[in-house]
Amino acid sequence: MDATAGNRISLHLRRRTVAIALCRGWKAHREAPVTPLLLRRRSRRRLLSGAGFAALLVAATLSPPAIAPARADTSWTGAADTDWHNAANWSNGVPSNTGNDAYITGPVVPVVTGVAFGENWTWVGYGSGNSGAITISDGGSLTAGCCFYLGANHGTGSMTVTGTGTFTASNILMLGDYNSTGYLTIENGGTVNSGFSTYVGRASGSSGYATVTGENSLWSVSASSLRIAGESPSDSAYGSVTLSDAGVLRVNGGSGSVIIGNSSNSTAFLNIGAAEGDAAVAAGAVDAGAVVLGSGDGTLVFNHTDTGLDFSTSISGNGEVRQLAGTT
C-alpha cells in the first residue's frame, strides 16, 4: 500500500469516528434523564400558561361589550354645500335610519345623487314659517324610514325627483300634514314608490300638490287607494294631483282606486294634462281600477292637447268631470 492510499484510509476512518461520536452524543442528549429541577421548571411554565389563559378568559367574560353612544336627531344646515352625503351639512351626521328624526329646513336645498336614507321620521319644512326642500337627481335614491312628511307643524315642504332619481317610502308619505303645505314633483323619468298610507293634503288646514310629468315618470302607490284631500271624514283639506306629458300615476299595480275629495269638508282635483286655468298640455295617465269622486268637493279635469285620449278607468261618485281641452 502506498502512502497516498494509507492517507485516504486514515482520513476515512477519522471521518467515521467523528460521525459516530456526534451521533452517540446526540442520542445521549435525547436520552438524558429529566431531573426534578427541569420537571419543576416545565410544570411552572404550564401552570403559568394556564393561569394566564384563565385570566384572559375571565377578563373577556367580565368586561362589558362596547356600546355605541345613542344617536341624536339631526338637522340639515347646508353649511358646506348642497351635497346631502356631506356630513358637514348636518348638525349630527348624515341621516342613516337609526330610529331618530331628521329635519330639513332652510334656503339651501340638499341634493341626493347617491344612495341615501332618511331617519325613522323625516320632516321636510317643519315648524311655523319654515320651509324646506329636497332634490333627488342623477340616479340618486332616497329611502325613507317609517314616516316622511313634506310640510308639517305649519311648515312648507317640497321634493323634486328628476331624471333617474328614485324615492321610496314604504310606509307613510304625507304631502301636507296639519296646517301645512307639501309639494311633490316627479319629472323627466323620476320614480316615487309610496306605501300603505299616502295622502295628498292629509288633515284640516293642510294642502298637498303632486305633479307627475314627462315620459317614464312614475308615481307608484302600493296601497289600495290614493286619497286626495283628507284622512278622517271631517277634515277640511285641499289636494291636487296633475298628470301630464305621459307621466303615470299607478295605484296598487293598476287595480287600486284614486279618491278625489276623501273627506266631506275637503276640496280636491285630479288633473289630466293641466289644472283648470292653466294652458293645456299633453295628457298623463291613470293606471288604476277606479277613480272615485268622494264625499268632499272632488273634480276630475281634462285639460290636455291630445286628440284621442282613451280614459278607460271607471269613474264613480258625486263630484264633477270637466272636459276643458283636448278630445277624451
**Distance separating alpha carbons of residues 123 and 74, to the nearest angstrom:** 11
What would the pLDDT profile of 222-231 be if each residue is shown by its tens digit? Answer: 999 999 999 9
pLDDT value of position 58: 38
Lowest mean pLDDT among 52-66, 90-104, 205-219: 52-66
For residue 89, give the DSSP letter. G
pLDDT value of position 71: 58
Q: How far is CA 118 from CA 83, 98, 115, 126, 127, in A?
A: 14, 9, 11, 15, 18
Sheet holding 172-175, edge to edge: 74-75, 101-104, 121-126, 147-152, 172-175, 197-200, 225-228, 257-260, 290-293, 314-317
pTM of the model: 0.79
Bridge partners of 297, per DSSP, are 267
Q: Is the confidence at residue 249, as pLDDT, over 80?
A: yes
Query: What is the mean pLDDT of the segment spanning 85-114?
Result: 97
What would the pLDDT profile of 109-122 be if each residue is shown by its tens digit? Answer: 999 999 999 999 99
3 state SS of 9: helix
Q: Is the confidence at residue 301, as pLDDT, over 90?
A: yes
Lowest mean pLDDT among 10-19, 205-214, 229-238: 10-19
Q: Considering the chain, what percentage of its residues have pLDDT values greater than 90?
A: 77
Q: How far is CA 49 from CA 35, 37, 53, 54, 55, in A?
A: 21, 18, 6, 9, 10
Bridge partners of 218, per DSSP, are 191, 248
Residues in the chain: 328
Asked if residue 269 lies in contact with residue 291, where contact means CB atoms within 8 angstroms, the answer is no
What would the pLDDT profile of 8-62 be if each residue is shown by its tens digit? Answer: 333 333 333 333 333 333 333 333 333 333 333 333 343 334 444 344 333 444 4
pLDDT value of position 123: 98
What would the pLDDT profile of 152-169 be if each residue is shown by its tens digit? Answer: 999 999 999 999 999 999
Selection from 223, 185, 218, 232 nearest residue 284 by Cα: 218
Query: Residue for cell digits 314604504?
Result: 170
pLDDT value of position 72: 85
**Distance separating alpha carbons of residues 174 and 187, to the nearest angstrom:** 19
Query: What is the mean pLDDT of the segment spanning 187-197?
Result: 96
First to last CA, the chain: 130
Q: Which run of H or E residues covers position 111?
A: strand 111-112
Q: Is the confidence at residue 211, as pLDDT, over 60?
A: yes
